[in-house]
Copies of this chain bind each other. A is one copy, B any other.
Amino acid sequence: MASSNNDHDQVKAAGLFERLRGKIVEFGLMLKKLGQDDPRRIVHSLKVALALTLTSMLFYFEPLYDGFGIAAMWAILTVVVVFEFTVGATIGRGLNRIMSTVVAAALGIGAHRLATLSGNQGEPILIALFVFVEAGIVTFFRFIPQMKARYDYGLLIFNLTFCLISVSGYRDEEVIRLGFERVSTIIIGSFTAVTVCVFIRPVWIGVELHNQIATNMEKLANFLEEFGDEYFTVSENGQIRDKSSSLQGYKSVLTSKGSEDTMANLARWEPGHGRFKFHHPWKQYLKVGTLTRQCAFKIEALNNYLTSEAQTPQEVKSIIQGPSVVISSECGKALKQLATSMRKMTKSSSNDPHIAKSKDAAEELKAVIRSSLCKLPADSLHIIQEGAVASLLFEIIRCTEKIADAVHKLASQAHFKDVKPTVTPDQENSVNDGPHHVIAIE
């Protein structure tokens, strides 16, 4: 009996061990995937490790240690809290930290001096008063939206430094030395973090924003290019579309506002790099982003008809099929071309043949609706549904045009390269009279 119990325990222990091993393997695979999805994460981790090891040198070498003493730990602390994934975020935090430390240290020293003048009795009361007033005001300033967007961290550090300097000064008469040490170690830490961040495989948040805006356009384009085929062939086999299909990539665009705003705020801290100048028009990126999101809202509405259970019979659908497929795919192509020229930082022709084609198809679709759709002997509800799809497609053309205008404006503001237009009128069998400028860079 005892032996059987023992066996049982062993089996249990083995099972537990197996499960633990499974968990660990799972965790390892998850880490591996994180690294593979974006290898810059591994590089970033190594960069942080390097910057921290470098700063630790401050403690190793006697002369530096004698200079800064225990205050050298501020440098380590600074590296840890300042070093972010992107250059913009790192510089933003570094500058915030340095500037506010300098100002707050000066004020803290002043407050300490003022308090000392009032004698032994008054000193702690005055310092407590100063701390209370300063902390109250600075904390309230953090609610100002413009401050919050760019200087929130600076205000936090201001609060911190002022308290440390003025309060610790009460004990330590070397308050000026303390302030100087804090400022200089923080400058060393920030400098180390920024240097490593900028010079070893930098991740520019401006470039991230640039790419995200282009990617978002591509996500919409992918949906639009596929939509026609998906929608008009769905009822043949009577199946309802799988909601988790590859077309659903646009969903992330619906809620991308927050991350775009943050990126644009941080991008403004970055110095010029590559083809991005210091005063790159980040605000115009936000405008393109907003228009892309508005287009995504229309696509969300369109997607609804794709996944809806109440599918219209094929004979009603086929009335609007031809021009609808053209509108959708041409708008998709136009968006894809805009995204491509944005990625390559080239100016695309403002005379987009795809938009022109989709507009022609829209006229055709309107004619079809006028002449046949409402005269069909079908259930009016089905007719109305197809009408709603058509109506959304008209709006998507309008959105695409707006996006195109915004991208062209961005291209001129950001001095994107001109691409020599190659005139190839035959290539485009368009109904417009003049020859089209075809963008040669795709």
Contact = CB atoms under 8 A, between A and B. Distances in A.
A52 B161 CA distance: 12
Interface residues of A, number: 75
Contacts of A16: none
Interface string A130-161: 01111111011001100000000000100110
Interface string A5-35: 0000000000000000000000000110011
B52 A163 contact: yes
Contact of A388 (B80, B297, B381, B387): B387
Given A76-B164, A370-B380, A380-B369, A144 B53 contact: no
Interface in A146-197: 156, 159-160, 163-164, 167-168, 170-172
A50 interface: yes
B383 A139 contact: no
Contacts of A81: 156, 160
Main secondary structure of the interface of A (DSSP, over half): helix
A59 B387 contact: no
A280 B192 CA distance: 45
13 contacts: A31-B140, A31-B144, A41-B143, A48-B136, A49-B132, A52-B163, A65-B171, A73-B168, A76-B164, A80-B160, A255-B255, A369-B381, A370-B379
A395 B384 CA distance: 13
A195 B381 CA distance: 62
A124 B48 CA distance: 19
Contacts of A385: 387, 391
Contact of A76 (B30, B31, B42, B167): B167
Contacts of A258: 255, 258-259
Contacts of A144: 30-31, 34
A44 interface: yes
Best-buried of A52, A159, A392 by chain B (most CB within 10 Å)? A52
A100 to B, nearest CB: 12
Interface of A: 30-31, 34-35, 41-42, 44-46, 48-50, 52-53, 56, 59-60, 65, 70, 73, 76-77, 80-81, 124, 127-128, 131-137, 139-140, 143-144, 156, 159-160, 163-164, 167-168, 170-172, 254-255, 257-259, 297-298, 300-301, 304, 366, 369-370, 373-374, 379-381, 383-385, 387-388, 390-392, 395
Contact of A373 (B45, B167, B259, B384): B384
A258 B124 CA distance: 44
Contacts of A383: 374, 387
A207 to B, nearest CB: 19
Given A76-B164, A124-B60, A128-B53, A45 B384 contact: no
Contacts of A380: 369-370, 373-374
